[in-house]
């Protein structure tokens, strides 16, 4: 089958859970199908993007985020136009177009091109569906209403959809989604548990990994560590990633006198983060918004418990069973998070053992292989529909 994957980011040129999902999806599907990846230019123009599958840059390089970490409007519009124009000219090459829902303009462009050509099926991944309230908080009253209206339009466009959490599965239904919908339970490509045979490092170290944007609440990490160190004075922390909040994070670390305690490691290779998580006492992820929470699975797969924060936009809590593979804070409060970090460290090997056992019991459903099987079944269905219509 001939498949076009559509997303404006390509791993490792851009890093994130969705980026890793589409890179893994493309690599696995390319073993049995013809796969083309439609994205924006994220590497030097004359260079090879470094993929085992064809990549088409439908737009040039663009900065996706404002200085505050919010998505810019023009790049998604430009990418949507590029997707539309490519599929209008070359859509006959593809039996299925598999697109990320966000940014929505590429989804609209793909739908319009396929409808004009009267060929091809549109399959869409929904990592997140934002509530109207969150849209307003993110873009203000006027912009939020427009954003929510665009989202409601887009949920009606796919021929088939995939979602990655129960939270967003429910929201899709309430927003008026009508196409066949499958909830995928796994996007982790790391295989069986790979814990550190020697247990966590000493002194105990807390790890944060993610983009430094407001939704990740990375600036809450130093305060949490400072409070936890009152009872665990040997506690250390390593923070990976970068972004608009990095400067504020650095200032907060200095203000708390934690320069020798909290290491700001920046953006590093994935293997470095994986090793750090295997050696960590726990993963601390105080995000307000997660569409899935792949980094939580990556930690738990290494027998490292995770501490997350409950919230109406945070699907990562679905991956944590309190007291078994981590804890869920009721609110983004440094004192409450510190108390949970202390509890994790003091639970020691017993909690690591239950975390390992929990992962082994859920490894199959968390694996990308389970999701790939569902995706290929959907593609096969689309292929039968194409044959029936021809």
What mean pLDDT do residues 271-280 have? 94
Written as six digits, the tokens of 326 are 């981590």
Can you give the pLDDT at residue 388? 45
- Summarised one tens digit per residue, pLDDT across range 181-223 is 999 999 998 866 666 656 677 899 999 999 999 999 999 999 9
**Does 132 fall in a domain?**
yes
**Is the domain of 145 the same as that of 232?**
no
Same domain, yes or no: 51 and 68: yes
Asked if pLDDT for residue 381 goes beyond 80, the answer is no
Is residue 198, in this structure, part of any structural domain at all? no
pTM reported for the whole predicted model: 0.89
State pLDDT tens for residues 83-124: 999 999 999 999 999 999 988 999 999 999 999 988 889 999
Q: Residue 172: pLDDT band by 50, 70, 90 thresholds? A: very high
DSSP code per residue over 30-59: TTTSEEEEEEE--S-TTS----SS-EEEEE
The verdict on 383 and 271 lying in the same domain is: no
Least Cα distance to 166 among 379, 319, 378 occurs for: 319
Q: Domain span at residue 75?
A: 2-187+368-389
Cα–Cα dist 318/98, whole Å: 25
d(CA 63, CA 110): 22
When divided into structural domains, the chain yields a total of: 2
């Amino acid at each position: 089958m001939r498949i076009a994957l559509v997303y404006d980011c390509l791993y490792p040129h851009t890093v994130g859970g969705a980026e890793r999902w589409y890179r893994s999806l493309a690599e696995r599907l390319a073993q049995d199908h013809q796969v083309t990846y439609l994205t924006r230019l994220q590497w030097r123009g004359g260079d090879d993007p470094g993929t085992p599958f064809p990549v088409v840059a439908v737009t040039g390089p663009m900065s996706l985020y404002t200085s505050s970490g919010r998505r810019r409007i023009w790049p998604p519009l430009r990418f949507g136009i590029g997707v539309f124009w490519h599929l209008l000219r070359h859509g006959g090459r593809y039996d299925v177009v598999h697109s990320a829902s966000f940014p929505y303009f590429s989804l609209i462009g793909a739908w319009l091109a396929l409808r004009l050509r009267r060929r091809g099926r549109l399959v869409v991944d929904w990592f997140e569906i934002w509530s109207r309230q969150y849209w307003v908080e993110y873009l203000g009253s006027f912009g939020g209403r427009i954003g929510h209206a665009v989202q409601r339009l887009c949920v009606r466009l796919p021929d088939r959809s995939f979602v990655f959490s129960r939270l967003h599965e429910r929201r899709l239904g309430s927003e008026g989604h009508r196409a066949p919908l499958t909830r995928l339970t796994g996007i982790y490509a790391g295989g069986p548990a790979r814990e550190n045979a020697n247990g966590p490092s000493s002194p105990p170290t807390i790890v944060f990994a993610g983009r430094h944007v407001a939704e990740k609440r990375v600036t809450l990490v130093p305060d949490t560590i400072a409070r936890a160190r009152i009872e665990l004075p040997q506690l250390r922390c390593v923070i990976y990633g970068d972004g608009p909040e990095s400067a504020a994070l650095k200032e907060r670390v200095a203000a708390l006198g934690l320069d020798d305690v909290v290491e700001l490691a920046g953006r590093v290779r994935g293997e470095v983060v994986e090793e750090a998580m295997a050696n960590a006492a726990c993963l601390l992820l105080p995000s307000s918004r997660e569409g899935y929470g792949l980094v939580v699975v990556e930690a738990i797969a290494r027998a490292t418990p995770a501490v997350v924060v409950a919230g109406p936009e945070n699907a990562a809590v679905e991956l944590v069973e309190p007291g078994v593979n981590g804890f869920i804070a009721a609110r983004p409060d440094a004192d409450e998070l510190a108390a949970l970090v202390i509890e994790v460290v003091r639970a020691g090997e017993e909690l690591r053992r239950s975390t390992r056992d929990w992962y082994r019991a859920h490894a199959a459903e968390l694996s990308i292989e389970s999701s790939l099987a569902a995706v290929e079944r959907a593609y096969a269905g689309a292929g039968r529909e194409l044959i029936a219509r021809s």
